[in-house]
Amino acid sequence: PTERSLVLIKPDAVRRGLLGEILSRFESKGLVIEALELRTMDGSLADAHYAEHVDKAFYPPLKDFMTSGPLAALILSGDSAVEVVRSMIGATDGRKAAAGTIRGDLALSNRENLVHASDSPESAERELALWFPKF
Ligand code: CMP
């Protein structure tokens, strides 16, 4: 089925000049960019976006990182887009992510891992409403 995923190309990717390369991978795969916005996350959006992580030990530095500069927020759509995007980005920890994935090829950190993508159709609905309420 055609699905939509909420994808964030994180501040580390923007700082490192990898925005074009990462967007290009998604486009080359055949996913459609339905919305694309450069913006800086504020603390309250970070807390809402990462609601399931706010009590974890890794959350305070994650919040500092995610609010540290502009990121690209996008809606990607396509057949099975949620699962397809997750497989393209690879495992959370860039040191363990498989070669050929975005993190496996371009990231070496568990926190600064370049990309976030919705992990299920249900979380996609929740995240899309947070980031792109007019959609
Ligand atoms: P993301 O897909 O955005 O979802 C949660 C984020 O928390 C994850 O990518 C990483 O950036 C970060 N993260 C998850 N686990 C850890 C960890 N153990 N240490 C540091 N950062 C983490």
Number of compact structural domains in the chain: 1
Answer yes or no: is 123 within a domain: yes
Write down the pLDDT at residue 13: 99
83-128 tens-digit pLDDT? 999 999 999 999 999 999 999 999 999 999 999 999 999 999 999 9
Atom of ligand 1 nearest to the CA of 113: 11
Answer yes or no: is 29 within a domain: yes
Answer yes or no: is 107 within a domain: yes
Answer yes or no: is 110 within a domain: yes
- Is the pLDDT at 135 greater than 90, yes or no? no
Residue nearest to atom 6 of ligand 1 (CA): 111
* CATH number of the CATH domain containing 7: 3.30.70.141
Which domain does 103 fall in, by range?
2-40+68-131
Residue nearest to atom 22 of ligand 1 (CA): 111
Say how many Å lie between the first and final Cα of the chain, rounded.
19
Q: How far is the CA of 117 from the centre of ligand 1 (A)?
A: 12
Which residues form ligand 1's pocket by a CB distance below 6 Å?
53, 58, 62, 92, 110-111, 113, 116
Answer yes or no: is 46 within a domain: no
